[in-house]
Amino acid sequence: MTTQQNPVDYAVAIQAQLTTTVSPVRVYANFNRNFATEPKFLTWQLRNVHQPVYTGPQDNKGIDRPVFQVSIFAQSMNDAFSISNTILQSLHGYAGQFGGAGGIWVSKVDIDWLYNTYDNELGLNQVILDCTLDIPA
């Protein structure tokens, strides 16, 4: 039995954890063209927040396995890959408190490097990572 968890807690934890991991590179939720003047930064978006619902009362649910997508932007391809590697080394397979003191508890972080690309209009290299959180309920 468990209640529905609060995605606001996820968002706060993701922002805090990424900020710590890639500091001093700036971390933003969602993309804003104004950021594109910075030589390197990253954005994230949360999706697939879902606890399976089982039979009976509303609080009979399973664990949540949301995904946050991290988009790493950098004018230098080397920077983009290096920041991505920093995230991989730090968080892939990580278990424990996520988001510093007061953060959520995750039993595992699983990172899938989807692809890298280049935006010619912005002049920015990009790497897209999918990060799955196992959040015990």
Partner 1 sequence: MALINKVMPGFSATLWMQDDVTPTPLTDTQLATWTGQVADIIGTAAGGTGTAGIAVPVEAIPAFGADDAFAAYSVAGARTGAKITTQNQVTSMTITAAWNPADAAMLQIRDDGESGTVIRTYVVATYDGTNTVAYAFNGRIGGMQWDMAPGAEGKFTFTIHPTGGNSYGWSTNP
String marking each residue 89-108 x if it binds partner 1 according to CB under 8 A: -------------------x
- The least distance separating partner 1 from the CB of residue 6, rounded to whole angstroms, comes to 19
3 contributes a contact to partner 1 by CB under 8 A = no
First-to-last CA distance in the chain? 9
Closest CA to 11 of 39, 41, 43: 43
48 contributes a contact to partner 1 by CB under 8 A = no
Report, in angstroms and rounded to the nearest whole number, the Rg of the chain calculated over CA atoms: 16
The single residue among 39, 62, 96, 102 that binds partner 1, judged by CB under 8 A, is 62
Question: CA–CA separation, 88 vs 66, rounded Å?
Answer: 18
For 136, the token pair is 């015990």
Closest CA to 110 of 124, 86, 129: 129
| Binding segment toward partner 1, per CB under 8 A, in 30-38, 41-49, 57-65, 97-105 | 57-65
Instruction: Give the interface with partner 1 as residue ranges (CB under 8 A).
Output: 1-2, 52-57, 60-63, 108, 110, 134, 136
